[in-house]
Amino acid sequence: MITEVVNTKELHKIDPVFGQLSFDNHEQIVFCNDKDTGLKAIIGIHNTVLGPALGGTRMWNYASEWDALNDVLRLSRGMTFKSAITGLNLGGGKAVIIGDAKTEKTPELMLRFGEFVHSLSGKYITAEDVGMETKDMDLVRTVTPFVTGISEEKGGAGNPSPITAYGVFMGMKAAAKYKFGTDVLEDRVVYVQGIGNVGESLVENLSDEGAKVYISDINQERLEEVRDKYNVEIYGGRNLYTEEMDIYAPCALGATVNDTTVNQINAKIIAGAANNQLADEQKHGMMLRERGIVYAPDFLINAGGIINVYAELEDYGRQEIIRKTENIYNTTLEILSKAEEKGITTHQAALEIAESRIEARKSRK
Ligand code: NAD
């Protein structure tokens, strides 16, 4: 019996799973525990109407189990819509391992995790996410076939980040076509926030096209490395959001469009790789719309990575990966126009297309 509610912030936590704020009719949540290896993981299967639930495994030192649960619920839901809008026959899933990937990830723990994935008989297929590397997936592959993102030497499609970046670049070009009437990015001012695996490849695409690129990151060494390689400028100011720019590309963390930044953003377009860029999908999506800022939905334009790993399941090659990734351009244009016609946010327009694909498959079943 619940005898005490500590504060209102805790209220939503009264119901352990189905009552969570991020719970959205997920099909199955699997809690995995192994005393010997110290594994504590949660696998979230949001929806399998279109196919097996595919999504990466994130290892993170969560402040609490609630945070881990909410993360897996939110991320697995996002995967459902990402695959649906991209036209892949995949459902949405994700896994989180609670712990510090730098100090607590051992081969034994990863193998045990792989066994849990295997126990779901292919309903969930894992891949890489934050805290994971291709070599971890290679290890998981030794205990289950239900894993993607394995190395090219082992027959996989390798690092998905350059493809993710290329898809973001396509989405950005489509947004430019919509906003400026041309998709040529030469001389356009673009701020790339976060120049990790995806951000760096995006910088490469942009500088090849002649865009005027500014980069920002919390890692100074990396900033200098990328600046010297691509002849781009390091942003030296205090508040990137207020700078006048054509395109803001969030490629670090999610929720950078939030109550504080939404009215500061001085860009004409937002198009980047980070997941869950809008802190509040409806509210902030609408505020951007009212300010005339074109937002290219994150889950649509950052789908290159999943297209890349899907190749391992469907056995298609590089050419098809590129073709599907380039199609992000057409889908983005379609969604931006649909949002305008219906007077809704671009995020909502993308969600509606994804949901209708799932509903159509459900009624055919
Ligand atoms: P990464 O870890 O390689 O790079 C992230 C970069 O952001 C790092 O250089 C980090 O120093 C920087 N960073 C962190 N906090 C920052 C801050 N406050 N301000 C500026 N920079 C900051 O990650 P990645 O693989 O390049 O992914 C980038 C984003 O794209 C993530 O949100 C990820 O979830 C998303 N994403 C990645 C892929 C993929 O294929 N890798 C696919 C889909 C979505």
Distance 83 CA to ligand 1 centre (A): 20
Residues of the chain with CATH 3.40.50.10860: 26-73+93-154
Closest approach atom of ligand 1 to CA 303: 43
- Of 54, 72, 86, 164, best ligand 1 pocket probe by most atoms within 8 Å of the beta carbon: 164
Q: Phi first, then psi: what are they for 212, rounded to 5°?
A: -95, 105
Q: What is the pLDDT of residue 41?
A: 98
Whose C-alpha lies nearest to ligand 1, atom 8? Answer: 196
pLDDT, position 365 = 74
Using DSSP, state whether 215 is helix, strand or coil: strand
Could you tell me how many helices (H) and strands (E) the chain has, helices first? 11, 12
Residue of 243, 329, 250, 316 lying closest to 88 (CA atoms): 316
Report which of 347, 215, 358 is spatially closest to residue 278, judged by C-alpha positions.
Answer: 347
Tell me the CATH architecture of domain 161-357: 3-Layer(aba) Sandwich (3.40)
- What pLDDT score was predicted for residue 14? 64
What is the tens place of the pLDDT at every residue in 95-132?
A: 999 999 999 999 999 999 999 999 999 999 999 988 99
- Ligand 1 neighbour 274 (Cβ under 6 A): yes
pTM: 0.91
Residues of the chain with pLDDT below 70 are 1-14
Ligand 1 pocket check for 275: Cβ under 6 Å: yes
So what's the pLDDT on residue 13? 54
> What tens digit of pLDDT does each residue of 275-293 get?
889 999 999 999 999 999 9
Q: Which CATH class is domain 26-73+93-154?
A: alpha beta
Within the chain, all domains assigned CATH 3.40.50.720 are found at 161-357
251, 278, 308: residue to mutate for ligand 1 pocket, most atoms within 8 A of CB: 251
Q: Which helix (H) or strand (E) holds 94?
A: strand 91-98
Alpha helices in the chain (DSSP H): 65-86, 107-119, 134-140, 161-180, 197-209, 220-230, 281-290, 298-301, 304-314, 318-342, 346-364
Determine the residue type at 300: L
